Amino acid sequence: MKDFIKIRGVSKHFGDFVAVDDVHLDIGKGELFSILGGSGCGKTTLLRMLAGFEIPSSGKIEIDGNDVTHQAPYDRPVNMMFQSYAIFPHMNVARNIAYGLQKEGIAKAKINKRVDEMLALVQLEDFKTRKPDQLSGGQRQRVALARALIKRPKVLLLDEPLAALDKKLRERTQFELMNIQDELGITFVVVTHDQEEAMTLSSRIAVMDKGRFQQVGTPKEIYEFPDNRFVADFIGTINTFEAVVTRMLDDRIELYSDETGTAITALGKQLFEVGQQVEVAVRPEKIFLSKDKPSNDEDTCVAGVVDDLGYLGNRSLYRIRLETGKIVQASSQNRRRSVTRFLEWDEPVWLSWRPRSAVILMD
């Protein structure tokens, strides 16, 4: 994939505060890329620098081979869709979408044609004469999207685009957004704090904290193979165990954890030293629950008692207290209809997980 956006050593200072700290990033042409992080991590500041609303304190930004670091927003081949949508309440849908082309003095017939194309794209053909207060949240979101796309930017920047929508509408709109991006082939850069949204939408994700990228990769790479403790904690739910390396083999690492009171085996070829202290991470859905002790010698196996549980319809969540006092979270799919639960409070249970499910965190 051709690198379409290149960010090289970009930093942004506000007085003594460093909002973005020496960021390097390549985004491919036609990619749907997400910048994911909590409040104050620097993601929106970086997006504003891509848009031209902020100038980097240092570094360089290229879009489609052109240095845009100091270009004004209106000279860049980008458009931005704001979290608030910022559509005009006194204009109907068609006029809101047409606004940008009207400001450029485009011929009326051409504007009308482009507006009709955008209305069809976002499935709002029957709403063109309505005012924003006559629309649902999802419809207003699509009006803002159409207005941002009508000028055919090379890059569309989206700042928390689905934050104002309820859960079901947000889930449906995620797929609509993906389909529109795929149809147009425009590079989308999305800023969000919502891990699920980033995982669903993105071809790749950059996880950001304190102005720096902690990891850049596909959703699966980031979820299954987190680079460090921050990424592991930020994306989804994870159990961590302090452990010591006891033996290095060709394709696996053997450890012992006082927190489980057992040996743990993990796959990997990382170079650790015997006696080195590390953290082992296991996702709740990778843990098998059984009432009888598992017989597979390769699996990590530990006994516990159900300390708490929650029923979420499609799955159940369990908090298991080990004999050492360590609390471990596990989840299981509710594949069969039943009014009774597989496990109840205070019931003894065995936990087990396979070597490939254990990830050794580097820090």
* Mean pLDDT value across residues 98-109: 88
Q: What pTM did the predictor assign?
A: 0.88
pLDDT, tens digit, 9 for 90 and up, residues 241-298: 999 999 998 889 999 999 999 999 998 877 789 999 999 999 999 999 999 999 888 8
Average pLDDT of 83-87?
75
The predicted-structure confidence for 285-314, as pLDDT tens digits, reads as follows 999 999 999 988 889 999 999 999 998 888
50 vs 332, higher pLDDT: 50
Residue 339 scores a pLDDT above 60: no
Q: How far apart are CA 233 and CA 240, in angstroms?
A: 9
Domains of the chain: 5-233 (3.40.50.300), 238-361 (2.40.50.140)
CA separation for the pair 232, 225 (Å, rounded)? 8
Q: Residue 362: pLDDT above 80?
A: no
The whole-number pLDDT of residue 363 equals 67
Return the beta strands (E) in the chain as ranges: 3-14, 17-28, 32-36, 58-63, 66-67, 78-81, 155-159, 187-192, 204-209, 212-217, 239-248, 252-257, 262-267, 277-282, 288-290, 300-311, 315-322, 327-333, 348-353, 359-361
String of b and e for 201-232 (b: at least 16 CB within 10 Å)? bbbbbbbbbebbbbbbbebeebbeebbbbbbb
